[in-house]
Amino acid sequence: MAPGMATDSGPPVSYRGAMSDGMTQAEADAFVAAWMEAWNSHDAGRIAAHYRDDVEYESPFVASLTPGGHGLVGRDAVRGYIEAALTRYPYLHFDAPMAVAVGAGSVSFVYRSVNDLLAVETLVLDDDHLVTRALCHYTAAPPVGSALGG
């Protein structure tokens, strides 16, 4: 059975390291704002501090910036990816998110990323609000005036 699936005998099985309690909308908004401020600071250590030592990180950008597949394991590997991203995109800047949604032990948010891509990130958090799993998704940004185009 996949993690997070309900069983006939009890509550859903939680993801490895996921928060035991939920997060309020205000906490989610503050977490995402701090995450974006860290990226906008271009300080790899500050960005990496949001991730747990054993984080699982999946993004289509991983393959273009680091050797291997689309996923990374561990804060050190994520920090290497962050450093490569900051080198490749020296003018990287994220504006405030278009939407932030609270999940069960996670937060998802939508924002404009590099190359004007629309990004959707889902971050599974532990009880200390460190990212234990990151799932990153990108698509060509919809036209201005559409529901997500601004």
pLDDT band at 61 (very low <50, low <70, confident <90, very high): confident
Task: Identify which of 145, 107, 141, 142 has the alpha carbon closest to the alpha carbon of residue 126.
Answer: 107
**Which pLDDT does position 147 carry in this prediction?**
60
Q: pLDDT digits over 66-81, tens only?
A: 666 778 999 999 999 9
pLDDT band at 16 (very low <50, low <70, confident <90, very high): very low
d(CA 42, CA 24): 28
**Which pLDDT does position 96 carry in this prediction?**
95
d(CA 83, CA 62): 12
Looking at every residue in the chain, the average pLDDT score rounds to 84
Residue carrying structure tokens 């995450």 = 35
The fold of 25-140 is Nuclear Transport Factor 2; Chain: A, (3.10.450)
Q: pLDDT digits over 129-148, tens only?
A: 999 999 999 999 666 666 65
Contact between residue 144 and residue 150 where contact means Cβ atoms under 8 Å apart? yes
Strands 131-140 and 71-73: unpaired
**What is the side-by-side order of every strand in the sheet holding 131-140?**
71-73, 51-58, 131-140, 117-125, 106-112, 99-102
- Nearest 10 degrees: Cα torsion 51, 32, 93, 52: 0
- What pTM value is reported for the model? 0.80
**Which pLDDT does position 70 carry in this prediction?**
76
